[in-house]
Amino acid sequence: MTEITFYRASEQPYGVFSNLYRRRIFFENRWFDTNEHAYQYGKPRKKDVRDWLMAAPSPALLAMAAHGLYRWDIVPGWSRVKIIRMERVLRAKFTQHEDLKQVLLGTGDADLVEEASVNDASARFWGRVKGKGHNTLGRMIMEVRKELRDG
């Protein structure tokens, strides 16, 4: 089995797997500029913090700001609901955009791995760093791929 790594949204052709890839999705009755926006929208407890995050000038800055929220600014139970939210956001992305769906299906049975360059707990949870980590995002995308293939 082959392995396909991704990280930066600008990488061709697999940058589309990045949550920072700029492609609008409709999720929870509103439009979001990226998967990162849709995912992080569910994290803040207060509307003003949520609005502040959504106004970030780039998806990368949005992610950085969201990672820096104080505990009291995050919805209770976020560590439990974040996985479910990400799964739903990924399904929205790959079912709403036929071209992205085809890129995903075109990976066959390859292992999809988010290979991060920054070594921190979040990067090791969602991806891998120097071969170490959970690769949660990659595994979720492979699950969406399987769902799309199976109909």
pTM here? 0.95
Q: What's the distance, CA 65 to chain centroid?
A: 15
Q: Is 87 exposed, middle or buried (0-12, 13-18, 19+ CB in 10 A)?
A: middle
- Contact between 119 and 98 (Cβ < 8 Å): no
Q: Which residues in 30-57 are b (16+ Cβ under 10 Å) and which e?
A: eebbbbbbbbbbbbbeeeebbeebeebe
Q: What is the tens place of the pLDDT at every residue in 77-105? A: 999 999 999 999 999 999 999 999 999 99
Q: Collect the ranges in the chain with pLDDT lower than 50.
A: none
Alpha carbons within 13 angstroms on the beta-carbon side of residue 119 total: 4
Domains and CATH numbers, the chain: 3-150 (1.10.357.40)
Q: What is the tens place of the pLDDT at every residue in 73-84? A: 999 999 999 999
Residue-level pLDDT at 151: 87
List the structure tokens of 53: 């995050």
Residue-level pLDDT at 1: 61
Residue-level pLDDT at 58: 96
